[in-house]
Amino acid sequence: MSAQLIHGKPLADSILDRLRAEIEQEGLRPGLAVVLVGDDPASAVYVRNKKRACERAAIASFSHELPASTTQGELLALIARLNADPAVHGILVQSPLPALIDFEAVIEAIDPRKDVDGFHPYNLGRLAAKLPTLRACTPYGVMRMLEHAGIDPSGRDAVVVGASTIVGRPMALELLLARATVTVCHSRTRDLASKVAGADIVVAAVGKPGFVKGEWIKPGATVIDVGINRGADGKLCGDVEFDVASQRAAWITPVPGGVGPMTIAMLMQNTVQAARAARR
Ligand code: NDP
């Protein structure tokens, strides 16, 4: 492998430790409500990791574990209570939600000041308007990783593969804000290989193991793999064909231990930011 790895875990841990120190110094008592509906095993793991991060950063976590039979009305009633609770500065609703609940309706019901995932149209709009407030955690974490590795996107050609509301779109907006020239690819994109081959920075957020082929990567490029998939061997893997890509790239993120821990660290960062804003 010739690429250097951009590890997310140690960077995430250092952010959590710094948040803890800042919270203690400022006498802040940030609180995060973590809402889990149903019994999806992957979601349970994510929620557990988020609660652990709360402990490390000294953020209070309030757990709401609801059965899969929960109705949209019941969930919206809980959101209304959390919106009104002064001890709660951030509200996290773990996706996926059961099929009968409209995820967008739930996100829009969250007070944008408590939308620490950064998914509310208000916060996405603020990012689009070059006024980022609570920023979507995964793209925010990716930007922190680039900064940490000393990679300035300004003037670079960036390709984002994936255009979802929670990753691909806000990722493109973050890169644009950092003055990259951004191409966003999705399932209707033609000749994806040539788009990726032109990129100085590639961000893959598709949700398909090894989907971005290593031979597409421009030599010396930076490759950020957001994907978290279960491979045929049962192990976690990303969206990028890591073995080949890491021979060509200058920088690459591993899966696991790359973007995942940074997403959680940015959730904590946003919760502290929301708590500070509430105190003003
Ligand atoms: P979605 O399924 O919501 O979006 C996938 C995107 O990939 C869509 O925009 C889709 O296009 C695009 N896509 C699908 N097929 C193709 C194709 N053949 N060519 C080009 N683009 C394609 O997924 P998410 O954005 O929620 O998640 C993506 C991955 O990131 C998943 O593995 C998920 O687990 C992971 N993830 C990781 C996080 C982390 O912290 N590391 C956080 C969040 C997600 P279209 O819009 O046209 O449908």
Instruction: State which of 169, 228, 237, 269 you would mutate to test the pocket of ligand 1, scoring each by most atoms of that ligand within 8 A of its C-beta.
Output: 228
How many CA atoms lie less than 13 Å away from 275 in the CB half-sphere?
Answer: 23
Ligand 1 centroid–CA 163 distance in Å is 7
User: Residue 227 is which amino acid?
Assistant: G
pLDDT in the model for residue 1: 67
From the first residue on, what is the mean pLDDT of each consecutive set of 10 residues in the chain (280 residues)? 94 98 98 97 94 98 97 98 98 96 98 98 98 98 98 99 98 98 98 98 98 98 97 93 98 98 98 96
Instruction: State which of 167, 174, 213, 224 you would mutate to test the pocket of ligand 1, scoring each by most atoms of that ligand within 8 A of its C-beta.
Output: 167
Distance, CA of 199 to CA of 218 (rounded, Å): 7
Which residue from 222, 195, 220, 125 is spatially nearest to 165, judged by alpha carbons? 125
Instruction: State which of 92, 124, 187, 230 you would mutate to test the pocket of ligand 1, scoring each by most atoms of that ligand within 8 A of its C-beta.
Output: 187
Q: Which atom of ligand 1 is nearest to the CA of 167?
A: 25
Which residue from 240, 215, 214 is spatially nearest to 226, judged by alpha carbons? 240
Residues forming beta bridges with residue 37, ordered by sequence position: 66
pLDDT in the model for residue 280: 83
Question: Based on C-alpha coordinates, what's the Rg of the chain?
Answer: 19
Who's near 219: CB < 8 A, 6+ residues apart? 248, 249
Ligand 1 centroid–CA 191 distance in Å is 18
As a whole number of Å, the end-to-end CA separation of the chain is: 49
Which residues are catalytic, by number?
50, 94, 117
Q: Which atom of ligand 1 is nearest to the CA of 95?
A: 26
Ligand 1 centroid–CA 164 distance in Å is 6
pTM of the model: 0.98
Ligand 1 centroid–CA 176 distance in Å is 19
* Closest residue CA from atom 8 of ligand 1: 162
Who's near 92: CB < 8 A, 6+ residues apart? 32, 33, 34, 35, 50, 116, 117, 267
Q: What is the pLDDT of residues 35-89, one digit of tens each?
A: 999 999 999 999 999 999 999 999 999 999 999 999 999 999 999 999 999 999 9
Distance, CA of 97 to CA of 109 (rounded, Å): 15
Ligand 1 pocket, residues with Cβ under 6 angstroms:
138, 161-164, 166-168, 185-189, 192, 205-207, 226-229, 259-260, 263
